[in-house]
Amino acid sequence: MMEVKSQEEKAKKPELKARDFVSDQDIKWCPGCGDYAILKQMQSALPEIGVKKEDIVFVSGIGCSSRFPYYMNTFGMHSIHGRATAVAAGLKAARPELSTWIITGDGDALSIGGNHLIHILRRNPDVNIMLFNNQIYGLTKGQYSPTSELGKVTKSTPSGSIDHPFNPLSVCLGAGGTFIARAMDRDPKALKELIIETHKHKGSSLLEIYQNCPIFNDGAFSAFTDKETKKKETVYLKHGQPLIFGDKLQYGVKLDGVHPIVVNIEEEGQDGLWIHDETDKIKAYILTQLFDDPEAGGHLPRPFGIFYKEERFCYEDAMQAQVDHAREQKGDGDLEALLSGNNTWIVD
Amino acid sequence: MTTKEQLDQVTILLAGDSGDGIQLTGSQFTQTTALFGNDLSTFPDFPAEIRAPMGTIAGVSGFQIHFGSSEIYTPGDLSDVLVAFNAAALKKNLDRLKDRGIIICNTSGFDKRNLRLAQYEENPLLDDKLRENYQLIEIDVTKMTRDALSESGLGPKDRDRCKNMFVLGFIYWLFGRPMQGTVDFLDNKFKRKPEIAEANIKVLKAGYYYGDTVEAIPSTFEVSPAKMQRGTYRNIMGNQAMAIGLVAACKKAGLPLFFGGYPITPASDILHELAKHKNFNVKTFQAEDEIAGICTTIGAAFGGSLGVTASSGPGIALKGEAMGLAIMLELPLVIINVQRGGPSTGLPTKTEQSDLFQAMYGRNGEAPMPILAAASPKDCFATVYEACKLAIEHMTPVMVLSDGYIANGAEPWRFPEASSLEEISTKFVDEKDAEDFKPYGRDENLVRQWATPGMKGFEHRIGGLEKELESGNVSYDAKNHQTMINIRSEKVNKMANIIAKISPDSGELNGKLAVLGWGSTYGAIKTAVKGLILEGLDVAHIHLRHIHPMPKNLEEVLKSYDHVLIPELNDGQLIKMIREKFLIDAKGLSKVEGNPFAAGEITEAIKSYYS
Ligand code: SF4
């Protein structure tokens, strides 16, 4: 639709180090919180994206993760519960050249801010959304969240939760997201790479990050992070590569019609394996459905990496184009003409 | 021979089905009357439903215009002329017509079906009482229109659509107005459909000449031009003036304007109008909800725009938490509440002033915000312009109150020249001050500076948690919280040093009775007070634009009268503030019926002090 220079081209590459992004504020997350790892990867990723520090803004909502902007030595706003996406949408629309990052959690983004999340995704401004999913309300001391599993016993659900949980990536893809990915706090290397990928994608990038809350929901993702199980329970998506996993990469995923099934490569060979195509939306929908409980029998592995990527015009560019077009057509606003309107009369 | 009767002022009420073109007829008559040189004021009365069943009372749309050869401040109380396109229009509005007033009715709108829909058992036009009490002019407008277009080749539907032009032509004749303005308008409007333009013009003329030929009434009327202040005028509606004021202020301040909002009656026209002015560096964002409406503007304000959102009571309620954030962040925001009948969904298309307390107190915590209220359609410009200036120069959200009555009402406006508008300065940091930048450092007015993303060396974080004095870092310190509460309150209070002192709008200081008003009651109070001063009563009108902070001398001014009367379209809100603040034994005049005060109601209340 319109040509826009990438931020890399616009900015001269500043010589920044991870420590340049460390603010002078004491970090107040609980010891062992997964947020530390994410903060560290963010601080180490940003020097590599080639954007000037003053052009970077972090906007967050409310929740443990939303304290994040205070710890980043960039511009930042700790807004109100659920609204980071809306605040950032306005900032980006007003200032398209800024590198805009949204820090949110499962409660913030999917419960109180659910409406803004789906709408930012369909409008597709060029922002990067880091959705820290710990499947619990941490800051309010441990109530179930919209991603908590059914039956979860918490302070507010002593008899177990009866809420069916969201499948966040399926929601986001359904809302028209143009970049859908998943990472976890315990896999820093992949996390950093994916953070950089969210920046590179021109459009709203949604990165769900599995984040352990050792205080209120410890081990929620242990199946995907523990040494013994992680190789069997996770599959890393690489564009153009087959979906294979297992400690000896002995398993693969195949499509039987539209249904994914696990095959043993050692027995059946690599033929017909699902080759990941991050531009295929239909297959991306199926991928988001690989969401089984790791405890369930015959379950599929949980995918990580980039599920889906699509080029679509960005809201702020289209908005700016309309402003520019109006200025071309009508000239820069003439205040006298505005005040007088088209129909005047003189009294003398 | 028809004679001419000279009148000082006239009120006409046009009423008919939503589909009858009432609003267009009204706006054409308004335009012509303005160009003719009368002072005027108009008010449309829309049904709440977009397409209520035809012929029913719920579906009646109205347009009232009050014009005269002297100054006009309201759209008029009772009307002199009622134009009823159908039976429902008559039924709904007859009680708004003066005794001996003129009824112009379209007789084909009084057939069996229309009578049934209007729930008339007998045809009211055959009622002798109606004929005794009013001057009835019966015209079969539908038939006349069809006849006039018998050779036009247009289908019956297209022909019938012209019938409002017949009525317009007829009232042009009745009040001796030229048709040319409307002829030009039609030519322009139907540029691409010249046959439709031609048909409308033909019917317009047919209506005019019909009056002339049949001498439908013994006397036509003349309302000579008003002695208005010299200058160039235009006609303006409240919401339009609001939008133009916002654009003008941003242009003066050299700031981009960012509007985030969600459609809501009766505020949406502000969004519509702003969307037309993109070439002024205006960005309009129709958000997913009211909350996003304000939150996007907070984001934009953080980025260096003036953030603006507009809504009505229910939407403002939803924005409450975000307003608190804007107060905490100390960013320039203008929040417009075009009030309507409440609570809840209430009366969306009706007017009320019942959100004053919401504006004043409707947020969690101690969250003071300056509040200004517009008095009339044209005053929306000056009020919102001042609100923008305060927001930008004092780095604060500011609330502007309007209401459905002035939002949709219109009046002539002697618009200012751009150069005469007050300058507006911004609080942007100076690049060379990066070293000692304190995000919550303040000047003598307690105003902080504005450092926006992209400014090297000014990276900082702000948020809704309590700020530490000066550094703006998060602070849970008890004493610091008290200090910051005081600062935020004092910052708003200090604006009283800047805003204009108050003086009587009509009448003198030190009298028997002051009528204190705010917002859209301005016109009715002014009409009443001026009238009574002419009758020799010692009464004054004080009008309050600045609700918070109030003008410094307000207490002194109010205390110079024996009595203070406060008319409000609510259950008594300003009165509680005044009584609490100044310990004045003010009396209220409340009305919450969804419509404005008639000047007569205020006159009566004032007179009770003199009997
Ligand atoms: S409560 Fe949980 S999520 Fe919050 S800071 Fe502590 S460990 Fe982290």
Question: What is the SS3 assignment for B336?
Answer: strand
pLDDT confidence of residue A3: 45
Other Cβ atoms within 10 Å of B113 Cβ, number:
13
Residue A32 CA, closest ligand 1 atom number:
7
Q: Is the CB of A138 under 6 A from ligand 1?
A: yes
The span from the CA of B517 to the CA of B527, in Å, is: 13
Parallel, antiparallel or unpaired: strands A344-347 and B3-6: unpaired
Mean pLDDT of chain A: 95
Mean of the pLDDT values across residues B378-383? 98
What is the distance of C-alpha B353 from the center of its chain?
Answer: 12
What residues of A are in contact with residue B232 (Cβ under 8 Å)?
340, 344-347
In angstroms, the CA B114 to CA B86 distance is 7
| Beta-sheet strand order (sheet of B39-45) | A344-347, B231-237, B410-413, B39-45, B60-68, B9-17, B79-84, B97-106, B135-139
Quote the percentage of chain B above a pLDDT of 90: 92
Which residue from A177, A330, A345, A314 is spatially nearest to B39, judged by alpha carbons? A345
d(CA B596, CA B594): 7
| Ligand 1 touching residue A132 (CB < 6 A) | no
Distance CA A257, CA A265 (A): 19
**Residue B3 pLDDT class (50, 70, 90 cuts):** confident
pLDDT per residue over B60-78, tens digit each? 999 999 999 999 999 999 9
Residue of A nearest to B466 (CA): A78
Confidence of residue B406 (pLDDT cuts 50, 70, 90): very high
Does B295 sit within 8 Å of A79, measured CB to CB?
A: yes
Tell me, using a 6 A CB cutoff, whether residue A64 lines ligand 1. yes
What pLDDT does B553 receive? 98
Which of B279, B416, B460 lies closest to A330 in CB terms? B279
**Type and span of the H or E element at A36:** helix A34-45
The pLDDT confidence band at residue B499, using thresholds 50, 70 and 90, is very high
B36, closest residue in chain A (CA to CA): A345
Alpha-carbon torsion, ordered B49, B50, B55, B56, to 10 deg: 0
Query: Residue B463 in contact with residue B475, Cβ under 8 Å?
Result: no
Residue ranges of the domains in chain A?
30-240+303-309
| Mean pLDDT rounded to a whole number for chain B | 95
Atom of ligand 1 nearest to the CA of A138: 1
Note whether A343 contacts B31, CB cutoff 8 Å.
yes
pLDDT at A4 over 80: no
Please give the number of the atom of ligand 1 that sits closest to the Cα of A141: 1
Q: Are B274 and A338 in contact (CB under 8 A)?
A: no
Tokens (6 digits) for B156:
């019956």
Pick from A25, A54, A111, A204 the residue to mutate for testing the B interface (most B CBs within 10 Å): A54
pLDDT at position B9 over 90: yes
A5 has pLDDT over 70 = no
Beta bridge partners of A264: A251
Q: How far is the alpha carbon of A106 from chain B, nearest alpha carbon, in Å?
A: 19
Chain centre to alpha carbon of residue A219: 21
> Amino acid identity, residue B399?
M
- Amino acid in the structure at residue A247: D
Q: What is the pLDDT of residue B251?
A: 98
Structure tokens at A315: 């809201």
Q: Cα–Cα distance between B495 and B594 in angstroms, integer? A: 33
Mutate which of A26, A27, A28, A30 for ligand 1? The one with the most ligand atoms within 8 Å of its CB, which is A30
> B1 pLDDT band (50/70/90 cuts)?
low
CB A101 within 8 A of CB A79: no
Task: Summarize the confidence of residues B300-315 as an average pLDDT.
Answer: 98
Q: Is pLDDT above 60 for B584?
A: yes
pLDDT of residue A12: 52
Helix (H, G, I), strand (E, B) or coil at B5: strand
Q: Cβ contact (<8 Å) for B234 and A59?
A: no
The Cα–Cα gap between B353 and B266 comes to: 13
Whether residue A213 has its Cβ less than 6 Å from ligand 1:
yes
Chain A contacts of B295, Cβ < 8 Å?
79-80, 83, 86-87, 90, 116
pLDDT at B48 over 80: no
Query: Is the model's pLDDT at A61 over the cut of 60?
Result: yes
Report pLDDT for B218: 81
**Do the chains contact at A70 and B35, CB–CB below 8 Å?**
no
Q: Where are the domains of chain B?
A: 3-222, 234-420, 431-497, 513-607
Which of B230, B278, B459 has its CB closest to that of A348?
B230
Task: Indicate the range of A4-8, B107-111, B410-414 predicted with least confidence.
Answer: A4-8
CA A215 and chain centroid, separation: 24
CB of B422 within 8 Å of a chain A CB? The answer is no
Inform me whether the pLDDT recorded for A298 exceeds 90.
no
Domain B3-222: which CATH number of 3.30.70.20, 3.40.50.970, 3.40.920.10, 3.40.140.10: 3.40.920.10
Average pLDDT of the segment spanning B188-196: 94
Would the pLDDT of B353 be above 90? Answer: yes
Q: Choose among A70, A75, A336: nearest Cβ to B474.
A: A70
Chain A residues within an 8 Å CB radius of B277: 333, 338
pLDDT score of B104 more than 80: yes
* Residue of B292, B365, B358, B370 lying closest to B334 (CA atoms): B370
Better-predicted residue by pLDDT, A108 or B54: A108
Segment A37-61 shows an average pLDDT of 98
Question: Which residues of chain B does A83 touch, with a Cβ-Cβ cutoff of 8 Å?
Answer: 291-292, 295, 322
Pairing of strands A302-309, A179-184: antiparallel
Is pLDDT of B486 > 60?
A: yes
Mean pLDDT along residues B386-409: 97
Q: Is the pLDDT of residue B445 over 90?
A: yes
The closest CB to that of A91, out of B252, B299, B461, belongs to: B299
Q: Does the structure show a pLDDT above 50 at B39?
A: yes
Q: Is the CB of A316 under 6 A from ligand 1?
A: no
In CATH terms, A30-240+303-309 corresponds, of 3.30.470.10, 3.40.50.1820, 1.10.287.130, 3.40.50.970, to 3.40.50.970
The pLDDT score that the predictor gives to residue A188 is: 97
Which of these CATH numbers, 3.40.630.10, 3.40.50.10490, 3.40.50.10610, 3.40.50.920, describes B513-607? 3.40.50.920
More confident call, B48 vs B147: B147
Percent of chain B having pLDDT more than 70? Answer: 100
pLDDT tens for residues B173-184?
Answer: 999 999 999 999
| β-bridge partners, A143 | A137
Which residues, including other chains, have CB under 8 Å from residue B70's CB and lie 6 or more apart? B8, B9, B39, B226, B227
Please give the average per-residue pLDDT across B147-159, as a whole number. Answer: 90
CATH of B234-420, picked from 3.40.50.720, 3.40.50.970, 3.30.390.50, 3.40.50.800, is: 3.40.50.970
B542 CB-side CA count, 13 A: 29
Q: Among B426, B283, B278, B274, which residue's Cα sits nearest to residue B336?
A: B274
Find, in chain B, the residue whose alpha carbon is nearest to that of A80: B464
For residue B247, list chain A residues with Cβ-Cβ distance below 8 A. Answer: 333, 338
Q: Is B479 left (phi over 0), alpha (psi -120 to 50) or beta?
A: alpha
Partner A contacted by B318 (CB < 8 A): no
* Predicted pLDDT at A6: 54
Chain segment A18-35, per-residue pLDDT in tens? 999 999 999 999 999 999
Residue A341 has pLDDT above 60, yes or no: yes
> Quick one: average pLDDT of B380-400?
98
